[in-house]
Amino acid sequence: FAAGTAALRPLPDAVRAALPAIAAAGGRSGPLAGMRTGLSLLGAAQGFGPVYDLSADQRREDTLVAAAAVPTLLTALYRLGQGLEPVEPREDLSYAANYLYMVTGEEPDEGRTRAVEQYLISTIDHGFNASTFTARVIASTGADVAACLAGAVSALSGPLHGGAPSRALDTLDAIGTPDRIDGWIRERVLAGDRIMGFGHAVYRTEDPRSRMLREVAQGFGGPRVEFAVEVERQVEAILAELKPGRELHANVEFYAGVVMELCGLPREMFTPTFAAARVVGWSANILEQASDSKIIRPAARYVGPGAPVGVPAVA
């Protein structure tokens, strides 16, 4: 499986030729916005057909082609946006090592490779989150794999979903020093602001991914990690005091940002790195949904104003 997907990493010529224009148009939106366009172009260049019309084997092949190409696409868009030449993928490197290599242009050491690999594994899939459900809804219409993935990454681009790792680091930067933690956090909690990197839509206990990534970060050590651990401790204590009865703990994004920074990834690549992992989970969900030919069609209940008096309701 690893060898087969490694061979699929290079981008088609038609996609490569369009990358400079996509990167230039992306502006502040960065690689994630370019990924939406790139995926659509990739699907067209590779001749992806509607999953409704394809055999199970062809659907799987299309998802593998797309998932293998996404890291190459994201890193090329990032480097072009920085005025650098894209780095071609290498088949001899693991998924994580090749990803870091394509971002930085340098072959990473084993420690950083393993840390990024652990992050990628921990975020590869996570239930029916917003982006995964979006992918499945589109797959249920019978659309092609590229359309499903483009919809998923559009959902991921929202800051309440995949955009928090860099914002969590922004919080550490804004606090600055340990003596400012208590006052800074209390001021924002009392103002009703959300503390990025804390709380989760599902977990009411410690996010198990956060616990694992904390251990990864502590394996690196250093002042940045020690500060993050102290911020986590004080934030959870303050939240417990000011919001009693609510279980608010560090989520995966809090330590994800710390780990990715330690591994040399720039902040504008934090959410794209999440996408490089989650594209595999999205693909698995697309395949599962495509095996059922029924379209997802939620029902809605009207709660607006009633019909005017004397006007019969429409049957």
CA neighbor of 72 nearest in space, from 102, 38, 94 = 102
254 neighbors 232 (Cβ within 8 angstroms): yes
CA distances from 236 to 175, 198, 242 (A): 15, 8, 10
Q: Tokens standing for 88?
A: 């071609």
Q: Which of 232, 236, 253, 261 is catalytic?
A: 253
Task: Let me know if 85 is a catalytic residue.
Answer: no
Residue 215 near residue 267 (C-beta atoms within 8 A): no
3-state DSSP helix/strand/coil % of the chain, to nearest 5: 65, 0, 35
The catalytic residue among 200, 232, 236, 261 is 200
CA angle 189, 190, 195 (to 5 degrees): 10
Structure tokens at 289: 């949904």
CB 194 within 8 A of CB 171: no
Q: Phi/psi of residue 198, each to 5°?
A: -130, 140
Write the secondary structure of 163-205 as one string of H (helix), E (strand) and C (coil).
Answer: CHHHHHHHHHHHHCCHHHHHHHHHHHHHCCCCCCCECCCCCCC
Label residue 47 left, alpha or beta by phi (over 0 means left) and psi (-120 to 50 means alpha). Answer: left
Q: Which two tokens stand for residue 267?
A: 């902040």
The Cα–Cα gap between 75 and 100 comes to: 9
3-state secondary structure 41-80: HHHHHCCCCCHHHCCHHHHHHHHHHHHHHHHHHHHHHHHH
| Rounded Cα gap, residues 268 and 29, in angstroms | 9
Positions annotated as catalytic residues are 200, 253
